[in-house]
Amino acid sequence: MDNTCSLTADTDNLITERRNSIVTTGKNKSSICCTSDSLAGAVSQRACVFCGARVVLNPVTDAIHLVHGPIGCASYTYDIRGSLSSGSENYRKSFSTDMKEKDVIFGGEKKLAACIDELVEKYNPPAIFVYSTCVVGMIGDDIIAVCKNASQTYGIDVIPVESSGFVSGNKVVGYRAAGEALYKLITPKEGDVIEKTRKLNFLGEYNLGGEKWVVERYLREMGIEINVAMTGDSTVEALKKSPGSCLNLVQCTGSMHWLANKMQEDFGIPYIDVNFFGADNTAESLRKIAEFYDDPEITAHCEALIEREIGAVREVNAKYRKKLEGKRAAIYVGGAFKAFAIIRQLQDLGMEIVLTGTQTGKQEEYERMGRLLSEGTVIIDDANPAEIEKFLVEKKVDVMAGGVKERFLAYKLGVGFIDHNHDRKDGLIGFEGAIKFIREVYATTCSPVWKYMREEKGGM
């Protein structure tokens, strides 16, 4: 049985049906195949619709997140994110209706209603998100009706999140379900008056390792306040005030474009795309925001801030660029937004991106990605370990950026690894985050450990 990797292209180990999901910049005239369902047995790195919805909504700190289904779905997402809270810690609890066989046979609606009763009594939460899972979708529990009923009984928002996993292997569908749930939550009820403010909302920011607070500090220095982030460190009350904001920033575009568009249509709030990963991206984003406010004082503060902060990043960049220039990097992440941010930062360090890809990228995002990359870079949609392994070896990659599942594959091949996953504990945002990022890239790419691995390799 030959199951080891080899330095030659072992195409026998790749699945022919995946051919159109892998392209090389400059070579392929045809466009990449993406946004389709994962191929059975291909060992996709993707998760499911439920996962997408759960990661987007989870950071709402004071809401109860109730997973309606058998135990596994909740168990695997218990306290899944590194999102920080300035107040309530409710969001870190993992609630499940823990469906049993009889609930599957006779229907789980009664149990769901009883669980909601129990949670209201115990926690008196301002809102409950009820996530549907595969089995619930399959047996057809009417979670919308149960939620509506509970909302009326308790006078709080009990919001169904339609996230049955089997609907798609693509998390993006779950992002949409989360967006719809948020939209339901923030849409003013009859008679509600939302005060209009000069504050902005920060969409697609999850306060991983306190990242929202970094940007909040920058904006405050410029004279701008954040109304609420979606959803990092948010509360139900703050979210409900979001329609009064004058602007939406959209950071993680995959998860939040739908909601941003909806808020533009219905509440007249314009949005701009921002990206606070990397010094140049941060500076650009701050300038865009200042431009929107069109206030000389804000602009002056913005420029002063950038000037003060960017110098430190440039210094660190220059120091480590000497060590990192010419190193070869691979990127495989969940969404294109993250890929763009990492590509730019690694290129700033003089590194060459030789492989990149995402789980959920769209056609236009891949096209944009191609334009950022030099000729000969491999781009993979919905990659699997066999493909990642093949290209890490073939392209002689020095360091890879990605999530937990890719980390140990890289290590096994003696390749450094930069964590950019959603359970990260250290913030990588803004100018200080850029410095942390550069240091992490250096620490892993140039670690002495690879020397021993290479020696071991030679000896085998």
Partner 1 sequence: MPNSDHTRTNHTDTAKLVNENQCHMCMPLGGVVAFKGVEGSMALVHGSQGCSTYMRLTNVEHYHEPIDVASSSLNEKQTIYGGEQNLMKALDNVRRVYKPKVIGVLTTCLTETMGEDLNRIISTYKAEKGEIDTDIIPVSTPSYDKSHTEGFWTATRDIIVHYTRKDIAYHKRINVIIPHISTADIKAIRMILDTWGVEYTLLPDYSMTLDRPFAGKYMKIPDGGTPTSAISEMSGAPVTIQFGLTCEKNISPGHYLEENFGVPLINLPLPIGIGNTDMLMDTLKRITGKPMPKSLGYERGWLIDAMADSHKYNASARPVIYGEPELVYAYTSLCLENGSIPSVIATGSAHSRLIPALEKLLEESDCDEYPVILEGADFSMIEAAALEAGSNIAIGHSGGRLLEEKHDIRIVRAGFPIHDRVGGQRILSAGYGGTLSFLDRFTNTILEKKHSSYRELRKQELLSKIATVTETGFTAE
- In the range 48-107, which residues lie near partner 1 by CB under 8 A? 48-51, 66, 69-79, 92-101, 103-104
Identify which of residues 38 and 345 has a Cβ nearer to partner 1 in the complex. 38
Among 413, 424, 426, 432, interactor with partner 1 by CB under 8 A: 413
Length of the chain: 460
Residue 45 Cβ vs partner 1, minimum distance, rounded to whole Å: 7
For residue 360, say if its preceding peptide bond is cis, omega within 30 degrees of 0.
Answer: no
Give 73 or 252: the residue with its C-beta nearer to partner 1.
73
Tell me which stretch binds partner 1 (CB under 8 A): 113-121, 224-232, 270-278, 329-337.
113-121
Span of 47-55, 143-151, 219-227, 324-332 interacting with partner 1 by CB under 8 A: 47-55
Tokens 């191609």 appear where? Answer: 370
The CB-of-211 to partner 1 minimum distance in angstroms stands at 20
Q: Are the C-beta atoms of 42 and 381 separated by less than 8 Å?
A: no
Quote the tokens at residue 164: 């049955």
Closer of 346 and 392 to partner 1 (Cβ)? 392
Nearer to partner 1, 42 or 226 (CB): 42
Residue 408 lies near partner 1 (rule: CB under 8 A)? yes
90 in Cβ contact with 64 (< 8 Å): yes
The three-class DSSP label of residue 411 is helix
Among 11, 404, 443, 451, contact with partner 1 (rule: CB under 8 A): 404
For the chain, first and last CA: distance in Å? 18
Q: In the numeric block, which tokens belong to residue 324?
A: 């990192």
Whether residue 95 contacts residue 116, with contact meaning beta carbons closer than 8 Å, is answered with: no
Could you give the CA distance from residue 364 to residue 31 in angstroms, rounded to a whole number?
Answer: 10
| Smallest gap from residue 51 Cβ to partner 1 (A) | 5
Task: Please count the residues of this chain forming the interface with partner 1, following the rule CB under 8 A.
Answer: 81
Cα distances from 25 to residues 329, 349, 367, in angstroms, run 15, 21, 10
Crossing angle of helices 211-222/279-293, nearest 10°?
40
Q: Does 389 bind partner 1 (CB under 8 A)?
A: yes
Phi, psi of 38 (to 5 degrees): -70, 145
Residues 152-211 that bind partner 1 (CB under 8 A): 165-169
Tell me which amino acid residue 393 is. Answer: V
Q: Which is nearer to partner 1, 150 or 279 (CB)?
A: 150
Question: Is the C-alpha dihedral spanning 99, 103, 105, 107 positive or negative?
Answer: negative
- By CB under 8 A, residue 140 contacts partner 1: no
Closer residue to partner 1, CB minimum distance, 69 or 232: 69
Scanning the structure block, which residue is given the tokens 């200080």? 432
412 binds partner 1 (CB under 8 A): yes
Nearer to partner 1, 41 or 155 (CB): 41
Is residue 314 a contact point for partner 1 (CB under 8 A)? no
SS3 388: helix
Q: Which residues inside 223-282 make contact with partner 1, applying CB under 8 A?
A: none
Site string for partner 1, 1-40 (x = CB under 8 A): xxxxx------xxxx---------------------xxxx
Task: Name every residue whose Cβ is closer than 8 Å to that of residue 106 and which is 6 or more positions away in sequence.
Answer: none
Q: In the bound complex, what is the minimum distance in angstroms from residue 394's beta carbon to partner 1?
A: 13
Listed ranges 189-197, 203-211, 257-265, 407-415: which one lies at the site for partner 1 (CB under 8 A): 407-415
Residue 187's CB is within 10 A of a number of other CB atoms, namely: 14
CB closer to partner 1, 300 vs 443: 443
Closest CB to partner 1 among 55 and 302? 55
Q: Which amino acid is at 305?
A: L
